[in-house]
Structure 1
């Protein structure tokens, strides 16, 4: 049962044309699409007052392929500066894909922004409806929806198949729950005097469920396998330390409490090191208290944090398995024991995982900044 929403609860979406489009037919289609999107959302979610704000920024030439990442950052800047809840950045250009042959849209639930390309959506006569269909699909990702066999969340196999459809009832329920939190008053509107820690905590509490959904939606446990230089640095350090007598002697003699504290500190340090070293918190030029900025930073930091936890766990398992198959007599001699039992192997594996996570943080900072941002910001390539 949903709480009744006050009819004055507004949801604002910025519709940002980011290219220097001069063709009047294309511009008219873009304008019609923004109006039709507002009408469609009002019909499907009458609990809210919808406003789609049309803005034209002559930022890019309308020809040539564009990297979606700067477009997402542009949309985020516009969203925060204008106080919108979401931003959709529209360009007539192709988008440069990372993993697919062709992409027509890139949503980012972390940034609450999406990029749409009209390059493959047909001529002006059909463009408006297809743009709205694509916008609904990308907004669905921003609202935490997964792909379905029907409705706007059906993956568009062919861009020309896009059309305006209704969200199924179960998905509408999820969207309403999400928007109830979005429509609340922003923290910076409640007070101008905040302590940094209190503001971050309140920003998390204000949208905690959606933040957790977004973090898990990025599958952070896969992050260590998607960052090549981090993985390489970790693997090299692990190979050398597994065969070094000194590392065995240190690892098996650290008490469990020391290993637990070392694990927590290593994971937090590695997360903070990559987060700051890759400028992942530099999302907007806006300064001061901004709940939207804090929310995005929490999502990115949380995703990275769980990625480091996953890295520690993988390293622990690998170290334990490798240590288990090494000749027991030789390894026991390294540490001055007659025999190594499972407790000592666990101690050593935990120590290896701690060192590996710290080495991985160094490797993570060698990653290309745009690549790691794309890995953390992109929900998918549509």
Structure 2
């Protein structure tokens, strides 16, 4: 899962990237993407690793990408192209006064500005594709034109595509164009230390109307917290009346907004968390591990994490209690399932 972090100049985007990834970009004037991979904390995986004592423990991961800004445009062509390759967009908005900027902070105003740019970028793609399809005379082209005309009307009305209700097949077809305004948008409000937990009401209303999610963080303070040793970090957070970092809070918000969950595979060799979307069936979940397992899927042997722990973290006790069950390819994987896939290729 790749998360593109972007924002207007002076919003503190790279400091936010540091507060989430722990990586400080060396050159503020660079034009290249900086990547940072973060392991998603999960106490359940920690407990399973303690029980099985595997050679390797592999948590789920999320990749953050710091998208360079531009002094010439809100979103230049390079930034648009880079954002299209991301799975999720994270917009950073400034809520603090900067000595380097004459404009007063107004997160709601800036949100509207950026959202308009995303919508215009998508509208340009839709218009260009419609021009090409008009030259084709096939049923497939006619169906695609109907979909794109619907999108064009929605965009011309100033609404992002994430607010457009589409059939699952049409939504999948639309993703082939990587529309920016269809992607999940998480908004981070970079706050001053004097008001670290506040999201302005005007911004919250705008974000909600555009099917987005917003959360506050004070990027400089959070970046400093990540540089502390784990023991010192916990003590410092306790002094602030917090029990987790902004990064951990962000990961929870992101998982919720994206409809993500984790299932586990366990054993002496490895205990691992795998990320899938809510509603994923067992066969597709097997494919997340390896395409051969999906292709040769026979059955999924499943026990929930809660049932496994209720049996004392003992596989034999869980089996004796009838907690393990065999599920077919259409079984909807649940968050926390511990799964062993049976397959033949």
Indicate the TM-score class for this superposition, using the shorter chain for normalisation: under 0.3
Q: How does the TM-score come out when normalised to structure 2?
A: 0.28
Structure 1 or 2: more strand by fraction: 2
Structure 1 or 2: more helix by fraction: 1
Query: Rg larger in 1 or in 2?
Result: 1
Q: How does the TM-score come out when normalised to structure 1?
A: 0.26
